[in-house]
Amino acid sequence: MTDHSQYAETLALYAMGALDNREERVELEAHLQSCVECRMELDALRGDAALLALSTVGPMPPQRSRERLLGAIESEPRKAPISRKFVLGVLHPRWLAIAPVAATLLLAIFSLMLWREDARLRHNLDKAQTTLSTQSQQLQEMQSIRDQIQELQLIRDLVKARNAVHMTLVASKWPAQPQAKTIYVPRKGLLLMANNLQPLPGDKVYQLWLVPADGSAPMSFGTFKTDPSGNAVMHHPVKTDKRPKSFAITIEPEGGSLEPTMPVVMGPAG
Partner 1 sequence: MISTQQSARRIRETREQGLVQTTANGDARLSPQADELCNESSTPSQTYLKGKRLMRRSRTQAPNLEDDGYLIARMRAGDKDAMATVYDRYRGIVYAVALRVLGNTTAAEDVLQEVFLRLWRNPNGFDVERGKLPAWLAVSARNRSIDVLRQRPPEDHIEEFAISSNIDLEDGLARTEAVEKIRAVISQLPNEQRKSLEMAYFDGMTHSEIAAKTGEPLGTVKTRIRTGLLTLRKAFQ
Binding status of residue 55 toward partner 1 by CB under 8 A: yes
Binding status of residue 35 toward partner 1 by CB under 8 A: no
Could you give the CA distance from residue 220 to residue 207 in angstroms, rounded to a whole number? Answer: 7
Binding status of residue 201 toward partner 1 by CB under 8 A: no
Tell me which stretch binds partner 1 (CB under 8 A): 62-70, 170-178, 214-222, 224-232.
62-70
Binding status of residue 76 toward partner 1 by CB under 8 A: yes
How many CB atoms sit inside 10 A of residue 267's CB? 15
Binding status of residue 44 toward partner 1 by CB under 8 A: yes
How many residues touch partner 1 under the rule CB under 8 A: the total is 58
Report in angstroms the alpha-carbon separations of 42 from 13, 17, 34, 148: 10, 11, 13, 73
Among 26, 50, 102, 109, binds partner 1 (CB under 8 A): 50
Binding status of residue 90 toward partner 1 by CB under 8 A: yes
Binding status of residue 104 toward partner 1 by CB under 8 A: no
Largest CA distance in the chain: 144
Binding status of residue 72 toward partner 1 by CB under 8 A: yes
Binding mask 2-31 for partner 1 (x = CB under 8 A): ------xxxxxx-xxxxxxx----------
Could you give the CA distance from residue 220 to residue 260 in angstroms, rounded to a whole number? Answer: 8
Among 26, 61, 136, 148, binds partner 1 (CB under 8 A): 61
Report in angstroms the alpha-carbon separations of 263 from 111, 206, 207, 249, 257: 83, 12, 12, 9, 14
Could you give the CA distance from residue 28 to residue 95 in angstroms, rounded to a whole number? Answer: 38
Nearest to 187 by CA among 237, 143, 149: 237
Could you give the CA distance from residue 223 to residue 245 in angstroms, rounded to a whole number? Answer: 20
Residue 77, preceding peptide bond in cis (omega within 30° of 0): no
Could you give the CA distance from residue 120 to residue 71 in angstroms, rounded to a whole number? Answer: 66
- The alpha carbon dihedral of 84, 87, 93, 97 has a sign of positive
| In the complex, least distance from residue 82 CB atom to partner 1, rounded to whole angstroms | 5
Binding status of residue 219 toward partner 1 by CB under 8 A: no
* Cβ proximity to partner 1, 29 vs 254, nearer residue: 29
Tell me which stretch binds partner 1 (CB under 8 A): 93-101, 183-191, 199-207, 250-258.
93-101
| In the complex, least distance from residue 107 CB atom to partner 1, rounded to whole angstroms | 16
Tell me which stretch binds partner 1 (CB under 8 A): 42-50, 106-114, 198-206, 212-220.
42-50
Positions touching partner 1 (CB under 8 A) are 8-13, 15-21, 40, 43-62, 65-66, 68-70, 72-74, 76, 78-82, 86-87, 90-96, 99
